[in-house]
Amino acid sequence: MDFELEPTLESIVQQDTLKWIFVGGKGGVGKTTTSSSIAVQLALNHPNDQFLLISTDPAHNLSDAFCQKFGKDARKVDGLSNLSCMEIDPEAAMSDLQQQAQQYNNDPNDPLKSMMNDMTGSIPGIDEALSFMEVLKHIKSQKVDENDDKDKISYRTIIFDTAPTGHTLRFLQLPSTLQKLLSKFQALSGKFGPMMSMLGGGNQQEMFDKLNEVQKNVTEVNEQFTNPDLTTFVCVCISEFLSLYETERMIQELMSYNMDVNSIVVNQLLFADDDEKPCKRCVSRWKMQKKYLDQMAELYEDYHLVKMPLLGTEIRGVENLKKFSKFLLTPYDPKVNGDLVTSLEEK
């Protein structure tokens, strides 16, 4: 029996329980377009629910994709009343946090301060975790209605357009490390706490509390993110060697975090087989793309492999995104849908 999975993202769009969708891949493969498209399709298919699309990329391009200025706070997309977007800079959130930490302890001569900084700075994934916590806090503070519950996220699904650099999800490996470290810290603070407070510390306890809080949050988030009913990851790539290689590495890494990955979107395909006036370059490049597509089909047979065409222009604006994103759900057929390539309105 052949278990070929349908080459669409329908399972993601139709799945009722999903709370988080991450879209990731290397730079320039169409992450933003794909995440916007997924968000648009979700919003179109569930008109009664609210969705949020977040970009954590410092080089923000959601604004460009939707031709509308977005900022730190969620704002509704014109023409799609149940989709909001926001662009946040996790680095900025991080530096806020550091300033906060400085308030606890602003004595430059305190040796414990630098020790604490060094220790927290050297845990792998702690930066990512802290900035992610800030992002989450920020999301929680975003409300669709004035009278929404305070501690609840008021969106049905949140779509993340992750930054191409770094490992946004590296903090998923954090809970176990942090747990060990914190238990050590606590043992230490139990022993030396009185001495520290005698030495004029006294604020250390707050630092420990803070770390404890981080650990609690990280564990909670980790539980959510490794639950395939709640979270999924969509890989975006183009049909070229290096992009495939990076995708493979990303998938392996995500799998090592126990994260659910079952969809790969292959962007920028040329589909040059049935062109009326075939251009030589397109035909040969399409041949190359087909080569890698075949290899991918062999490698990722238990994944949803979504093939998306390369269009004549940039895909910008809600209307264009709606047109394009349709093909995330119904496979693109160059014979029937070929006019899509040139039919986008220029913005």
Partner 1 sequence: MGILAALDLHPYTLVVSSFTVLLIQQLVGFIGKSTIQEFAWLFYLRVGGKLGLSNSFVAHTKKQEELHKLNREKRSISAQDEYAKWTKLNRQAEKLTAEVKSLSDDIAKDKSKINSLVGVVLLFLTTLPLWVFRLWFRKSVLFYLPTGVFPYYVERVLAIPFFASGSVGLTVWMFAVNNVISSVLFLLTFPFKPSVPIPIRQTKVEEVVPESAESKESSPEVIDIADAN
Binding site, annotated residues = 26-33, 240, 267, 279, 282
Nearest distance, CB of residue 322 and partner 1, angstroms: 34
For helices 90-104 and 126-141, angle between their N-to-C axes, nearest 10 degrees: 100
Question: Choosing from 57, 89, 161, 260, which is the catalytic residue?
Answer: 57
For residue 83, CA distances in Å to 43, 61, 192 come to 6, 16, 51
Nearer to partner 1, 155 or 257 (CB): 257
User: For partner 1, what does the binding mask look like between residues 88 and 127, x meaning CB under 8 A?
Assistant: ----------------------------------------
Choose one: 19-27, 43-51, 278-286, 292-300; the region binding partner 1 (CB under 8 A).
292-300
3-class state of residue 276 by DSSP? coil
Q: Which residue, 256 or 343, is less far from partner 1 as judged by CB?
A: 256
**Which residue, among 60, 144, 53, 56, has the nearest Cα to 93 in the 3D structure?**
56
Phi, psi of 54, rounded to the nearest 5 degrees:
-120, 135
Helices (H), the chain: 10-14, 31-45, 62-66, 90-104, 111-121, 126-141, 174-198, 204-225, 241-256, 280-299, 318-329, 334-337, 340-343
Q: Which residues are annotated as a binding site for ATP?
A: 26-33, 240, 267
Closest Cα to residue 66, out of 273, 315, 317? 317
Site string for partner 1, 247-266 (x = CB under 8 A): -x---x--------------
**How many angstroms separate the CA atoms of 178 and 295, rounded?**
40
One of 298, 302, 339, 346 touching partner 1 (CB under 8 A): 298
CB 171 within 8 A of CB 220: no
Closest contact distance (angstroms) between CB of 245 and partner 1 is 7
Contact (CB, 8 A) for 207 and 102: no
Q: Does 295 bind partner 1 (CB under 8 A)?
A: yes
Q: Which amino acid is at 245?
A: Y
Q: Which two tokens stand for residue 58?
A: 């410092």
305 scored as a contact of partner 1 (CB under 8 A) = no
Structure tokens at 57: 């990329």
Q: Is 299 in the site for partner 1 (CB under 8 A)?
A: yes
* Nearest to 330, CA basis, from 16, 23, 42, 9: 9
Q: Is 241 in the site for partner 1 (CB under 8 A)?
A: yes
Query: Which CB, 296 or 321, lies closer to partner 1?
Result: 296
Our answer to whether residue 57 is catalytic in this structure is: yes
Options 117-125, 196-204, 279-287, 296-304: segment touching partner 1 (CB under 8 A): 296-304
Alpha-carbon span 235 to 325, nearest angstrom? 16
Q: Which is nearer to partner 1, 178 or 296 (CB)?
A: 296
Cβ of residue 175: shortest distance to partner 1, in angstroms?
Answer: 21
Q: How far is the CB of 285 from partner 1 (least distance, A)?
A: 15
The least distance separating partner 1 from the CB of residue 271, rounded to whole angstroms, comes to 20
Window 184-223: contact mask with partner 1 (x via CB under 8 A):
----------------------------------------
Q: Give the residues lining the site for partner 1 (CB under 8 A).
A: 241, 244-245, 248, 252, 292, 294-296, 298-299
- Residues annotated as catalytic are 57
